[in-house]
C-alpha cells in the first residue's frame, strides 16, 4: 500500500468502501484501466468496516478508523469496564466487532454476494431465524407466520394483513416505482387508521431504512423491498436479516479490493482527497494529502464515493447544477446507537418465553417521539454469535442492540445518553438477570450509517450532470438503484462502472436486482 503514486491514471476512485472497491474491481479486471483508489482511513471497508477484537490495540487507532471509515465513534465513557481496560485486558480477543449494529438483507443471494461471486470471492452471511416482538410493556411475543400476533387485537391483525397482502400483490418493481415520491406515512394512512396495523408497517419501513419517521421513508422504496423479499422467499420470521461471520462486513470491500490489486490497480490508505480538480467543465484529477505531502494527481475520470454531504465539500464552488446540489444537500443521514455486549450466556437464556436462539428481537417504542426525537425510537437486537457463530470465542456470546436515530440526534449527548439508559432499562425488563453474564459493554455511535434521498427527490445519478468525467457511486447514488445500505452501494457500483464504460455491468446480478 506504500506503492509510489504516479501523477497520471485512467481513473481515480475516492474511497475504498463497497462502492469504490467494486468500481475499481470492474475497471481493472474487465477494462484493464490504470486505477488509483485513495482512501482517507488507515483501513479499507468504509462504513462497512469491521474489526477483529485482538486487532484493536490502541484506543486512538480504533477511534480513528471508526471515525474516518464509518463516520462513527466509540462512546468510551459509557463502555464498561473502561474502554482502555476492555482493550488492554484482551476482553475483545476472539470477537468480531462491527462499527455498529448491522443486519443486511437476502443473506448470500443479494447483489453484494452475486457481485463478489462474479470475481470468485465468497460471501459470509448467515440468516436470522425467529422474530420476537416486545410490546409496549416490553413483554415478548414470538411471531409465527399466519397466526394472530400476540400483542395485536383481531381487528389490528386483520388490518395489518390486509395491507401486507396489498403490498405483496404489487406485481413488479416498476409498479412500485410510481410511489417513489410518496412518503410511507401518507401511503399507509390512506389504507388504514388502525394504530396497530400502522405501527407494524411503520416498523417494517424502519427495518428497510433505519429511518424512524415514516414521513421520511419512500413508499415506493418500501414496496420494492417487499417485492424483492417476496421473490427471495424471505420473511421476518426466516432469513429477513443477514449477519456477517468472521471477519465481519469488511470481507465485502476486502474481496473487491483484492481484485483491484491483483489486476494492477493501486489502493492507497491514509490518503485524503482535499479537492476534486475541475477545469472548463471537465474533471482533471484530484488534490490529495498523502502522508505529509499534498499531491496533484491527474485523471480524466474521477469517481467520488464519499456520502453526498461530504462529497459537496470536495468540489469547487459552482461546478454543480443547483438542482443536483440541492438533492445532495437534502440527503438524509440515518445513524444508530449501538451496544455490543460480550456475554458468558446467550440472551435467550433470560427471555421470558422460549425463542429460537437465532431470533431477531424488536420493540417499536424504546423512546416515544414525544420526548423530542424524530419518530418513535425503536430497539432491535440479537445474539449475533448464535446466528454467525464465528464472531465470538468458544463459550462466549456476542449480543448486539441498536436504536436508529438521525445524524443530528447522534450529536446531542443528552439524546444519546437517553437512548443508552433506556436500552439498558429495556434489557433489564426483557431479559431479567442478563447483567450477571456481561463481561464487557461497548457503545458505538454512527452518524452516517445509511444515506437516503428525501422522499420528494430523485436519487442523484451516478453521472455528474455538469462536470464531464465526474461520477458518483455509493449507497446514496444511482437514479435507478433501489434499496439502501450495502445492497445500494453495490448496485450503484455496477451502475457507475456501466456509465463510465458505456457497457452494462448490471448483468453481474440477477434481473430482479437490475
Which of these ranges, 38-46, 125-133, 193-201, 497-505, lies near ligand FAD under the rule CB under 6 A? 38-46
Which of these ranges, 10-18, 277-285, 382-390, 504-512, lies near ligand FAD under the rule CB under 6 A? 10-18
Which of these ranges, 16-24, 121-129, 132-140, 377-385, lies near ligand FAD under the rule CB under 6 A? 16-24
Cβ atoms of 312 and 497 closer than 8 Å: no
Cβ atoms of 498 and 23 closer than 8 Å: no
Binding of ligand FAD by 130 (CB under 6 A): no
Nearer to ligand FAD, 430 or 462 (CB): 462
Binding of ligand FAD by 46 (CB under 6 A): yes
Cβ atoms of 37 and 267 closer than 8 Å: yes
Binding of ligand FAD by 100 (CB under 6 A): yes
The single residue listed with the C-alpha cell 463478489 is: 116
Binding of ligand FAD by 220 (CB under 6 A): no
Binding of ligand FAD by 103 (CB under 6 A): yes
CA distance readout (Å), 269 to 15, 37, 208, 298, 490:
9, 8, 31, 18, 21
- Of the candidates 33, 47, 396, 459, which one interacts with ligand FAD according to CB under 6 A? 47
C-alpha cell at 319: 461546478
* Residue 149 DSSP code: -
Binding of ligand FAD by 48 (CB under 6 A): yes
Which of these ranges, 34-42, 127-135, 230-238, 368-376, lies near ligand FAD under the rule CB under 6 A? 34-42
Binding of ligand FAD by 499 (CB under 6 A): no
Binding of ligand FAD by 37 (CB under 6 A): no
Nearer to ligand FAD, 39 or 457 (CB): 39
Cβ atoms of 95 and 392 closer than 8 Å: yes
Which of these ranges, 1-9, 114-122, 178-186, 306-314, lies near ligand FAD under the rule CB under 6 A? 306-314
User: Shortest approach of ligand FAD to residue 232 CB, angstroms?
Assistant: 15
User: Shortest approach of ligand FAD to residue 478 CB, angstroms?
Assistant: 10
Binding of ligand FAD by 19 (CB under 6 A): yes
User: Shortest approach of ligand FAD to residue 261 CB, angstroms?
Assistant: 16
- Of the candidates 9, 12, 20, 400, which one interacts with ligand FAD according to CB under 6 A? 20
Q: Is 512 exposed, middle or buried (0-12, 13-18, 19+ CB in 10 A)?
A: middle
> What would the DSSP string read from start to end of 114-168?
HHHHHTT----EEEEE-EEEE-TT--EEE--TTS--TTS-HHHHHHHHHHHHHHH
Residues 398, 278: Cα–Cα separation, whole Å: 48
User: Shortest approach of ligand FAD to residue 141 CB, angstroms?
Assistant: 23
Binding of ligand FAD by 416 (CB under 6 A): no
Cβ-based neighbours of 338, under 8 Å, separated by 6 or more? 98, 100, 101, 400, 401, 402, 443, 444, 445, 446
Give the number of C-alpha atoms closer than 13 A to the C-alpha of residue 82, restricted to the C-beta side. 4
Binding of ligand FAD by 97 (CB under 6 A): no
Cβ atoms within 10 Å of 310's Cβ, excluding its own: 19
Binding of ligand FAD by 285 (CB under 6 A): no
Binding of ligand FAD by 17 (CB under 6 A): yes
Binding of ligand FAD by 283 (CB under 6 A): no
Nearer to ligand FAD, 16 or 283 (CB): 16
Cβ-based neighbours of 49, under 8 Å, separated by 6 or more? 41, 43, 65, 66, 69, 70, 98, 99, 249, 250
Binding of ligand FAD by 248 (CB under 6 A): no
140-142 and 125-129 strand pairing = unpaired
C-alpha cell at 160: 395489518
**What string of H, E and C letters represents the secondary structure of 29-60?**
HCCCCCEEEECCCCCCCHHHCEEEHHHCCCHH
User: Shortest approach of ligand FAD to residue 113 CB, angstroms?
Assistant: 12
Residues 273, 291: Cα–Cα separation, whole Å: 12
Contacts (CB under 6 A) with ligand FAD, residues 464-493: 474-475, 485-487, 489
User: Shortest approach of ligand FAD to residue 344 CB, angstroms?
Assistant: 25
Nearer to ligand FAD, 185 or 491 (CB): 491
Q: Which residues pair with 104 in a beta bridge?
A: 242
Q: Angle at CA 467, nearest 5°, toward 464 and 472?
A: 30
Q: Angle at CA 129, nearest 5°, toward 441 and 220?
A: 95
Binding of ligand FAD by 240 (CB under 6 A): no
Cβ-based neighbours of 371, under 8 Å, separated by 6 or more? 418
User: Shortest approach of ligand FAD to residue 374 CB, angstroms?
Assistant: 18
Nearer to ligand FAD, 198 or 462 (CB): 462
User: Shortest approach of ligand FAD to residue 273 CB, angstroms?
Assistant: 4
Residues 172, 421: Cα–Cα separation, whole Å: 43
Nearer to ligand FAD, 352 or 411 (CB): 411
User: Shortest approach of ligand FAD to residue 421 CB, angstroms?
Assistant: 20
266-268 and 438-452 strand pairing = unpaired
Binding of ligand FAD by 140 (CB under 6 A): no
Nearer to ligand FAD, 339 or 474 (CB): 474
- Of the candidates 25, 36, 70, 464, which one interacts with ligand FAD according to CB under 6 A? 70
In the chain the first and final C-alpha atoms are separated, in Å, by 34
Could you list the residues that contact ligand FAD (CB under 6 A)? 14-20, 38-41, 46-48, 68-70, 72, 99-100, 102-104, 272-273, 305-307, 310, 314, 336, 446, 449-450, 474-475, 485-487, 489
Amino acid at each position: 500500500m506504500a506503492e509510489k503514486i504516479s501523477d497520471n491514471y485512467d481513473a481515480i476512485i475516492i474511497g475504498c468502501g463497497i462502492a469504490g472497491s467494486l468500481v475499481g474491481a470492474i475497471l481493472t479486471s474487465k477494462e484493464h484501466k490504470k486505477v488509483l483508489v485513495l482512501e482517507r482511513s488507515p483501513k479499507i471497508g468504509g462504513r462497512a468496516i469491521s474489526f477483529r477484537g485482538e486487532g484493536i490495540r490502541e484506543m486512538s487507532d480504533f477511534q480513528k478508523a471508526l471515525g474516518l471509515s464509518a463516520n462513527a465513534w466509540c462512546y468510551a465513557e459509557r463502555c464498561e469496564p473502561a474502554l482502555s481496560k476492555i482493550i488492554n485486558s484482551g476482553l475483545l480477543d476472539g470477537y468480531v466487532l462491527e462499527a455498529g449494529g448491522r443486519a443486511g438483507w437476502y443473506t448470500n443471494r443479494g447483489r453484494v454476494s452475486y457481485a463478489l461471486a462474479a470475481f470468485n470471492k465468497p460471501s459470509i452471511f448467515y440468516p436470522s431465524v425467529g422474530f420476537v416482538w416486545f410490546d409496549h410493556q416490553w413483554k415478548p411475543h414470538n411471531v409465527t407466520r399466519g397466526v394472530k400476533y400476540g400483542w395485536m387485537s383481531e381487528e389490528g391483525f386483520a388490518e395489518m394483513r390486509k395491507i401486507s397482502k396489498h403490498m405483496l400483490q404489487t406485481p413488479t418493481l416498476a409498479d412500485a416505482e410510481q410511489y417513489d415520491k410518496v412518503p410511507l406515512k401518507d401511503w399507509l394512512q390512506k389504507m388504514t387508521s388502525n394504530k396497530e396495523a400502522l405501527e407494524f408497517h411503520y416498523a417494517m419501513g424502519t427495518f428497510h431504512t433505519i429511518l424512524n419517521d415514516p414521513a421520511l421513508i419512500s413508499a415506493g422504496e418500501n414496496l420494492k423491498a417487499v417485492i424483492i423479499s417476496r421473490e427471495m422467499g424471505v420473511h421476518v420470521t426466516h432469513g429477513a436479516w443477514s449477519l456477517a461471520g468472521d471477519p465481519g462486513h469488511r470481507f465485502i470491500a476486502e474481496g473487491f479490493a483484492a481484485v483491484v490489486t491483483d489486476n494492477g490497480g493501486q489502493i492507497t490508505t491514509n490518503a485524503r482527497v482535499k479537492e476534486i480538480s475541475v477545469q472548463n467543465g471537465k474533471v482533471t484529477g484530484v488534490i490529495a494529502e498523502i502522508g505529509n505531502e499534498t499531491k496533484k494527481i491527474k485523471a480524466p475520470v474521477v469517481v467520488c464515493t464519499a456520502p453526498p454531504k461530504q462529497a459537496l465539500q470536495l468540489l469547487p464552488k459552482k461546478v454543480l447544477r443547483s438542482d443536483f446540489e440541492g438533492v445532495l444537500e437534502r440527503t438524509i443521514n440515518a445513524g444508530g446507537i449501538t451496544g455490543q455486549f460480550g456475554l458468558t450466556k446467550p440472551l435467550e437464556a433470560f427471555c421470558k418465553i422460549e425463542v429460537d436462539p437465532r431470533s431477531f428481537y424488536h420493540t417499536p417504542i424504546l423512546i416515544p417521539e414525544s420526548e423530542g426525537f424524530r419518530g418513535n425510537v425503536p430497539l432491535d437486537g440479537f445474539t449475533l454469535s448464535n446466528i454467525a457463530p464465528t464472531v465470538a470465542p468458544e463459550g462466549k456470546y456476542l449480543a448486539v442492540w441498536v436504536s436508529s436515530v438521525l445524524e443530528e440526534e447522534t450529536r446531542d449527548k443528552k439524546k444519546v445518553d437517553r437512548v443508552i439508559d433506556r436500552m439498558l432499562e429495556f434489557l433489564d425488563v426483557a431479559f431479567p438477570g442478563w447483567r450477571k453474564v456481561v463481561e464487557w459493554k461497548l457503545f458505538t455511535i454512527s452518524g452516517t450509517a445509511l444515506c437516503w434521498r428525501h422522499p420528494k427527490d430523485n436519487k442523484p445519478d451516478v453521472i455528474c450532470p455538469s462536470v464531464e468525467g465526474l461520477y458518483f457511486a455509493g449507497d446514496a447514488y444511482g437514479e435507478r438503484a433501489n434499496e439502501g445500505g450495502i445492497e445500494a452501494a453495490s448496485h450503484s457500483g455496477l451502475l457507475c462502472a456501466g456509465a463510465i464504460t458505456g457497457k452494462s455491468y448490471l448483468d453481474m446480478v440477477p434481473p430482479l436486482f437490475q
